[in-house]
Amino acid sequence: MLSSEQISQNQQRHYLRAAVRFFSYLFAFFLASIAYWVTSNFGQASLEQVLYHAQFGMDGLVATDVGIVRSFILTCLALPISFALLLVIVEYSIALYLIYNSKHWFAKPMQIFNVQGLKVFYWFISHRAPLYTLIACSIYFAFQFSISAFVHNQLGPDYFGEHYVNPRSVKIEPIKANAKPKNLVLIYVESLEDSYKDETKFGKNLLSSLDALKGVSFSQYKQAPGTNWTIAGITATQCGVPLKTVSLYGGNDQGERIKAFLPNAVCLGDVLHDAGYHNVYMGGDALSFSGKGKFFQDHHYDEVYGREELKKNLTVNEMNYWGLYDDDLLVLVKAKLKELHAQSQPFNLTFTTIDTHGPDGHFSKYCKSRGVKEFKGIVECTATQVVDFIKFMKKNGYLKDTNVVIIGDHLAMYNPSHKQLDKIKQRYIYNRFISNKPITKNREYILHFDLFPTMLEFIGLQVEGGKLGLGFSAISQNTPLPPATIYEDMKEDLLNNSEKYLELWQEKQVAKQ
């Protein structure tokens, strides 16, 4: 028979043991929950993407999406705490009943169970249950975020350093000496991909209105590594580089490095600024999310507008949890286009849509008025709104001196159509180049990085050698084409640790090319 003092000491040790087990369970369930939450809300994400947003964009997310924050608190905090607490409470109550023969009210619920069954259950959970739980949850976490690929990125060869062409070393000038380059309207349509044309999956071509526009498309626009979320897609197409976290490589000075967004990179806005362009960005979501506003501000965009800057111009203060609906945004974009075109200075007007954003999409007043009630209807409605915008440009004569590029920022993430999309073996990003003078393609397959030199040549600026950053112009003639294995090579090694990539984040100008 144990003395009361011995029982007290044993109980104290059990309290400590319970605390250790609680935090072990909590950490395990948190790993599993965060992996599940990210996949459910943003689709299959890499660890690079998660780390990037953790260091650069969480303030904007908290400020933008109340629904996302609420689901994070419930899924990643409340549920793990509840599960961990429940397991520890059950274990402790069984211990009180079986070992200490306690009459404490905590142990009373156990009296309804079979003693032998409780002993077996207690033996299982009292041995290595937290360890087994932690191992299982860690495996799930590693699988969801491709940890093996992340480890390879830290140890593999420096693909970026070997292939990056610094735009500072490239001569960029008008194709014809006395010719005036065209204005540029660059439209990033959220998660727009060619897969939505598949009539066998969606019943009809949801993008038929876009396809009917006079223009040229590249049939094989693949999604390269480091480009699979909005700011990454923007960075890749405008700078010719992938987007990845640098915190693991930068040490304690990482906070200093991200005061500016790729300050040592030369991007589309920088080149157009040097060519005399006035650059404008407009987007319905918050500029603070993922560092989007910082990117445009740091790369010579003269006017940068996000949710907070634009909502004061709305006649009705109706927004989704990201920001402005696309129909309201396009009204403001049209007004800005009129203003820019009335001026003599060449311009670049870039804007991003949001209504086709997962996980559920957003139903604007325009789309509701057209009877849209499901996600695939939003996709079709968004395409129609972009077409209406192009018709507006044509009606006002803007297409005479302005070229248009319509591209998806990346492939679609998790959304109500994901089951249909997942059945398509080869998925490509939507793109359309619209101009009075047709362009001649030198190939059909392109990557995000190829858009940087291609768009410059599309509006009438010649890129010496046809290559900028990691991109090869897709319309240059008599220039080298990318290797046939470029996509596979990039998939293997592009996101590897690279000193040259880190130099792009350094605030001080680096002389290396």
pLDDT tens for each residue of 209-229: 999 999 999 999 999 988 988
What's this model's pTM, rounded to 2 decimal places? 0.78
Output 104 or 384, whichever has higher pLDDT: 384
- pLDDT of residue 513 exceeding 50: no
Beta pairing class for 461-463 and 471-472: unpaired
Binning the chain into helix, strand and coil, the percentages to the nearest 5 are 55, 10, 35
Do the Cβ atoms of 350 and 280 come closer than 8 Å?
yes
Q: Which pair of structure tokens corresponds to residue 76? A: 């990643």
What are the structure tokens assigned to 6, written together?
């011995």
Mean of pLDDT values over 101-110: 48
Give 489-493's long-range contacts (Cβ < 8 A, gap of 24+): 489/159, 490/159, 490/224, 490/225, 490/447, 491/224, 491/225, 492/156, 492/159, 493/156, 493/157, 493/158, 493/159
In the prediction, which pLDDT does 255 show?
35
Q: Average of pLDDT values for 475-498?
A: 90
Instruction: Give the ranges where 279-434 is alpha helix by DSSP (H).
Output: 292-298, 307-310, 326-341, 365-369, 375-395, 418-422
Mean pLDDT of all residues in the chain? Answer: 83
- Candidate from 87-101, 185-199, 365-379, 487-501 with smallest mean pLDDT: 87-101
Q: How far apart are the first and last CA of the chain?
A: 80
- Phi/psi for 432 (5° steps) reads -150, 125
Confidence bin at 60 (pLDDT 50/70/90) = very low
- Angle between helix axes 115-127 and 129-144 (nearest 10 degrees) is 50
Residue 189 phi/psi, 5-degree rounding, is: -95, 120
Confidence of residue 511 (pLDDT cuts 50, 70, 90): very low
pLDDT tens profile 340-387: 999 989 999 999 999 999 888 999 999 999 999 999 999 999 999 999
Q: What is the pLDDT of residue 254?
A: 33
Q: Are 409 and 189 in contact (CB under 8 A)?
A: yes
Does residue 259 carry a pLDDT above 80? no
Count Cβ atoms within 10 A of the Cβ of residue 450 and give its class: 0-12 exposed, 13-18 middle, 19 or more buried: buried
Q: Which of 44-48, 171-175, 199-203 has the highest mean pLDDT?
A: 199-203
Using CA atoms in the order 225, 228, 231, 235, what is the torsion angle rounded to 10 degrees?
30
- Better-scored residue on pLDDT, 18 or 223: 223
Q: Which of 277, 242, 224, 218 is nearest to 406 (CA)?
A: 218
Residues 6+ apart with CB under 8 A from 369: none
pLDDT of residue 401: 96
Residue 317's pLDDT is what?
67
Mean pLDDT within 258-263: 82
% of the chain surpassing 70 pLDDT: 77
The mean pLDDT of 312-328, rounded to a whole number, is: 83
Domains of the chain: 4-154 (no CATH), 175-505 (3.40.720.10)
Share of the chain above pLDDT 90, in %: 53
Largest CA distance in the chain: 103
- Regarding predicted confidence, which is higher, 474 or 69? 474
Dig out the tokens for 382 from the structure: 């968004």
**pLDDT of 512 strictly over 50:** no
What distance in Å separates the CA atoms of residue 125 and residue 93, rounded to the nearest whole number? 12
Give pLDDT tens digits for 379-438: 999 999 999 999 999 999 999 999 999 999 999 988 999 899 999 999 999 999 999 988
Give the pLDDT band of residue 242 (cuts 50, 70, 90): very high
